[in-house]
A and B are shown apart, each in its own frame.
Chain A
Amino acid sequence: MAVEPEHWRTPSRRLLLLRRWEVAVPAVVLAAMVALVGGGSGWALGLALVPLLAGAILWGVVGRRYASWGYAERDDDLLVRRGVLFARLSVVPYGRMQFIDVAAGPLERAFGLATVHLHTAAAATDARIPGLEREEAARLRDRLAELGEAQAAGL
């Protein structure tokens, strides 16, 4: 799809931070628990390395996943790309959007982030942009709603 690289927008860097926290905290906690239960003996410390190692791998995966997210507002449609293993690119015409919902879970809220989800009449449409800063999420929602109304097409 012909989009200049500079037109792609990415989710906030804070999303990357949030995702890394989500990996690091459980890994460290699990490692600490294993070490404590083992009473600091050699094998327990060795076993505690497993969650840390898994955490390190996931840390890298999370980084690549974050880098894969992107969206671009074009004249008539919104492009959303995501996925490392399965690379997906969705094209959603503004006229086809039925509603847009903005959601923020407790963790996302703590980081000042929100997820914008676009819905069309098709259940298969999966246009979702996570980790937008709140102002950007609100701006995107309003702009999409405005464009959607202007170009709305019937079924």
Chain B
Amino acid sequence: MTPERADGWHRLHPLSPVVRGGRGTIAIAILLLPIIFSGGRISDAVPQVAIIAVLALGGFVSWLVTRWRIEDDDLRIETGLFRRQSLRFPLAQVQAIDVVRPGLARMFRVAELRLRMAGASGATARLAYVGEREVDPLRDRLLALARGARVHEGIPAGEAELERPPERVLAVVATGPLVASILLERGWLIVILAGLLSGFVVSPKTAAALIGGGGFVWAISIVTVLWRRFNQQYHLTVAEGAEGLHLRGGLVALTAEVIRPGRVQAVRLVEPFLWRPLGWCRLEADLAGRQRRKGEGEAERGQLRTLLPVGKRALAYELIDRLVPDRPRELSPPPRRVRWKSPLRYRVLRWGRSDSVVATVSGRLRRVTCWVPLEKAQSLRHVQGPVQRRLRLASVHVDTAGKGVHATLRDRDAGEAAQALAELTDLARAARRRAAAA
């Protein structure tokens, strides 16, 4: 409990420095491990102990000198030992108050309050960290004060709505299916894991040697990739809000994003081979001008935004209808002779169009369905390879901004492809005009 004193000053939760240390805390724990387990004398580990002591002292002092209180209509935060800082945040300008819970914070049952302020600076007041039980009452109290402050200063309450805008939750990703789907998507991975496990059972020494050798690095990299995926998509919630679809989720790092339908360049529905018996699919969107999120590396930037990591088709289509209204309902199969050119894809290939959206289905083992709003099409390409020429076939590619989605009308009858190219060119032009006029 935050000790409340007569003058109204509060301190943060005593565990704050530990949580704020984040990775550093974990590093310290690792530093400590050998000392504890070796059972050796402290004198052997003087440097480590000294470093830990200094860090701990620093953390304690930073906690000691940080305090906050509410003064009239302001939130005041004082911090710093040598360079004393006193920050004042007028509550009347609070736009929203978020509760953020990173991984360590959850472990220690604390949470951070973030007050997003209005104005060009867009500063954020952070109270990191507050005990989990106090967070919600404190947030409500600050919101009430902010509302009161607005009335005080004569700012109309409606100018910026303080309460969360009403939103309707469409989907929440359950943890079980998420884990299953991540593993199932990479069927080979299950084989390797099973192999390793059975290896341990049959001959622990050999398996250990295998892991000890280069296999270890490899295993770590696989686990990292899987973990990142899991971390990003954990408990992902899709809700329908005023501006578009709201996404929230993540395990260690929480993320929130709003997807406006107008920013969607293309949408694709992926059905990996091993998911299909379960009727699962994944929905991804290519967005224009997506802001790089904090902690998002170069690798993630070019990737598609996953809207639904795993879910039933019906649910995915519900989301698709919100992102690309007027999607084509009927998709037509290719001519029979395509069997000879693309035997694996033949059963899957489809394409269809409405006046504003083109849809294509392709894929050998996994099935990928793409939707491209025609106003977003960058260019169209008609390609005919040597085998296709023999079979009187041709493909039409719809190029979109971004790298993730390849909508291709693959292996159509040559006449149909030529006609489709002409039609799509005209429809795309009309769609661009409509978009420009709107």
Q: Assess the A124–B385 pair: CB atoms within 8 A.
A: no
Q: Which residue of B lies closest to A88 (CB)?
A: B383
A77 CA to B381 CA, complexed, in Å = 13
Q: Assess the B379–A122 pair: CB atoms within 8 A.
A: yes
Q: Which residues of B contact A127 (CB under 8 A)?
A: 379
Q: Which residues of A contact B386 (CB under 8 A)?
A: 85-86
A96 CA to B386 CA, complexed, in Å = 30
Interface readout for B424-438 with A: 1 if CB under 8 Å, 0 if not? 010011001001100
Q: Assess the B429–A124 pair: CB atoms within 8 A.
A: no
Q: Which residue of A lies closest to B433 (CB)?
A: A153
Q: Assess the B378–A122 pair: CB atoms within 8 A.
A: yes
Residues A96 and B378 in contact in the complex (CB < 8 Å), given A1-B422, A77-B425, A122-B400 = yes
Shortest distance from the beta carbon of B358 to any chain A beta carbon, whole Å: 14
Q: Which residues of B contact A121 (CB under 8 A)?
A: 288, 378, 401
Q: Assess the A91–B381 pair: CB atoms within 8 A.
A: yes
Shortest distance from the beta carbon of B115 to any chain A beta carbon, whole Å: 33
- A90 at interface by CB-CB < 8 Å: yes
Q: Assess the A123–B403 pair: CB atoms within 8 A.
A: yes
Q: Which residues of B contact A89 (CB under 8 A)?
A: 381-383, 421
- B235 at interface by CB-CB < 8 Å: no
Count: A-B pairs, CB below 8 Å:
81
- B13 at interface by CB-CB < 8 Å: no
Q: Assess the A153–B436 pair: CB atoms within 8 A.
A: yes
Q: Which of A77, A122, A125 has the most CB of B within 10 A?
A: A122
A91 CA to B423 CA, complexed, in Å = 12
- A12 at interface by CB-CB < 8 Å: no
Q: Which of B380, B389, B432 contacts A91 (CB 8 A)?
A: B380
Q: Which residues of A contact B421 (CB under 8 A)?
A: 1, 89, 91
Q: Assess the A120–B436 pair: CB atoms within 8 A.
A: no
Interface readout for B279-295 with A: 1 if CB under 8 Å, 0 if not? 00000000011000000
Q: Which residues of A contact B383 (CB under 8 A)?
A: 86-89
Q: Assess the A124–B381 pair: CB atoms within 8 A.
A: yes
Q: Which residues of B in the span 368-400 have a Cβ within 8 Å of any Cβ on A?
A: 375-376, 378-386, 389, 397, 399-400
- A52 at interface by CB-CB < 8 Å: no
Q: Assess the B265–A155 pair: CB atoms within 8 A.
A: yes
- A132 at interface by CB-CB < 8 Å: no
Closest 5 CB pairs of A and B: A121-B401, A122-B378, A122-B399, A120-B378, A89-B382
